[in-house]
Chains A and B, each alone.
Chain A
């Protein structure tokens, strides 16, 4: 940096220091929401050490800091994908068709908790939970209804399903077949990320080892048969919702990613091939600049990890492609309309961070599942950013900004420190087993709560600017209490009408294949799904063979 600038900056700082004696700043020191130090201002000297070609590069080129495509949103917008599902397949199918009619460009299926944890609706463990946080799916029958009149060769579908991901993917493949859509024409994503379930989300079933096998079986099966399918969505979203900082979100997500790449490589799969189908899922919270920097840093870090650590040379397998959802935990039950504004800020950060798809939360989600009206506003928020804000007309517009590049470096540095610690412990599985990851997240969550209570952090309408309000009058979505009974009746009918001998044979085949280690389980699961074995039956067999995970409680 030239001497003239340095001299000028020193003089300027001295001047400010003097005026501070009279006019104090609002705080002694400033940080990002995640606790990274934030200077009064950033100048050219702050990004002096950056080598443009090495650290930033061109859009669509390594290390992909500026995005994964050369033209980004000038070519086409991100996929507007609203996570939805409730009650039964019939009701959810209706909501999907509403969303498609409103211009949503991809589906995202929310399953209820029994489905996510491998229980049929008539299981005692499912009591009270059927159709509550998503749609209840017990068998291929329900899945056929869920996608009724939705052509699977025209939409891409993301499914938030983890422990029983193989079963739901098998059902999707079978629905495709019935519609005349071959496997290699299906596109979409399964979340299939068990590690973050142990860390933060809680819908695990099996212990880590067989869970990793199920995941890598899917990688292998899809590489050969469903080449357009994203076989995993390695998720920081829930880690962040559980309370982590932005840098921890990146660190723990990429550390999970490293564990999956290692597991698949160990099975003999080529990261240059399966690496193309790895996708990611991040959160977008309110601290706008830090969030933009986070997305850019994550992309650069993953490219470096794949290249340097795993020797990946295929650029498509070096790219971090990601879905974003705005931050559910940032929404307030107080003055819910304010959430529209929060969601806008968060969504904009993900667009400026180069997201491939986006879910915008609805304003009423701190109160209940979203109503149709509030989902509509959330989707329009994306359309306004896409069509009206102008930020989509040039690629990675904030690149080169002193503060953005400094924070991108800051997130990368901090996140690589965590990854280094995890490596030193022997990898992510050990770090989870020891409670290292959970402890860091909980400490950050507690620290945040404390800062809200001491008003170091202001949440409008919650600890400042409160108003008296009557929320009882707000129109919320309620799930019909009879869903459970209807599902149970459907199950009874299914079991009377299907070929039960075929079912028990198919389940026995799964048991045999699961007991050994050499067979890929996917074809067996597809076979069982096809003759209408239920999800609970298939997972039940796997539970018997694999055992169940028990939580390591860290407090």
Chain B
């Protein structure tokens, strides 16, 4: 069992100002023992990927409630791949219609959590996903 702390970036891409969810999730992940970097608002995909690389993060959580989710998820995922960081786990949540979720998963998102999701579901999922990722790396 890998004992390194899980490092995760919680990001707010674009112009969306709804940060309640991002901050609650960031705190819940931190309370679960992870090292969390919260980017703050108005991040471009380039800035988010830069933070992920700098922080050597295992995962990046994207919070978006403005309807621009498809654009930002696909852009961030493709930038990560470009930077040779395609193994970073991408997950997210916000106001995202159910019908849009399969598209985000196809693009490479690990999970998309809708409104009403318990933070413990998020924590457990991420712990498991990071454990699997680290196992593969060994």
Q: Which residues of A contact B (CB under 8 A)?
A: 113-114, 116-117, 119, 125-129, 132-133, 197, 201-203, 241-243, 329, 331-334, 365-369, 442, 445-446, 449, 452-453, 459, 462-463, 471-472, 474, 476, 478-479, 551, 553, 555
Contact = CB atoms under 8 A, between A and B. Distances in A.
B72 A128 contact: yes
Contacts of A201: 17
B15 A114 contact: yes
B68 to A, nearest CB: 4
Contacts of B24: 243, 442, 445-446, 449
Interface stretch (B80-88, B104-112, B113-121, B129-137): B113-121
A193 B110 CA distance: 39
A387 B98 CA distance: 37
A471 B97 CA distance: 9
Given A133-B66, A202-B17, A368-B97, A555 B72 contact: no
A476 B95 CA distance: 12
21 contacts: A113-B14, A117-B15, A119-B15, A128-B68, A133-B66, A202-B17, A241-B20, A242-B19, A332-B116, A333-B116, A367-B95, A368-B95, A442-B27, A446-B23, A453-B119, A453-B120, A474-B98, A476-B97, A551-B40, A551-B42, A555-B27
Given A329-B20, A333-B115, A129 B98 contact: no
B1 to A, nearest CB: 26
Contacts of B89: none
Contact of B28 (A126, A369, A449, A459): A449
Contacts of B119: 449, 453
B14 A242 contact: no
B79 interface: no
Contacts of A329: 20
A166 B13 CA distance: 27
Given A368-B95, A445-B24, A332 B115 contact: yes
A553 B38 contact: yes
B66 A203 contact: no
Contacts, number: 101
Given A479-B67, A555-B38, A442 B23 contact: yes
A254 B68 CA distance: 33
B20 A242 contact: yes
Nearest to B26: A555
A241 B65 CA distance: 13
Contact of B67 (A202, A368, A442, A453): A368
B9 to A, nearest CB: 13
Chain B contact residues: helix, strand, loop or mixed:
loop
Contacts of B17: 197, 201-203
A453 B116 CA distance: 10
B16 interface: yes
B21 to A, nearest CB: 9
B71 interface: yes
Interface residues of B, number: 34
B34 interface: no
A512 B115 CA distance: 48
A161 B132 CA distance: 46
A551 B95 CA distance: 23
Contacts of B27: 442, 446, 555
B41 interface: yes
Contacts of B138: none
Contacts of B75: 128
A128 B14 contact: yes
B54 interface: no
A202 B43 CA distance: 12
A337 to B, nearest CB: 15
A485 B63 CA distance: 25
A367 B18 CA distance: 15
Contacts of B67: 132-133, 368-369, 479
A329 B19 CA distance: 12
Contacts of A368: 67, 95, 97
Given A202-B41, A449-B28, A555 B23 contact: yes
Chain B CB within 10 Å, residue with most, of A116, A126, A197, A202: A202
Contacts of A459: 116
B14 A129 contact: yes
Contacts of A442: 23-24, 27
B41 A366 contact: no
Contacts of A452: 118
B115 A132 contact: no
A335 to B, nearest CB: 10
Contacts of B20: 241-243, 329, 445
Interface string B40-70: 1110100000000000000000000011101
A551 B14 contact: no
A242 B23 CA distance: 10
A128 B72 CA distance: 8
Which 5 pairs of residues, A with B, have the shortest CB-CB distance?
A: A202-B17, A128-B71, A113-B15, A132-B67, A128-B68
A129 B67 CA distance: 7
Nearest to B27: A446
A261 B31 CA distance: 41
Interface in B89-108: 95, 97-99
Contact of B98 (A114, A462, A471): A471
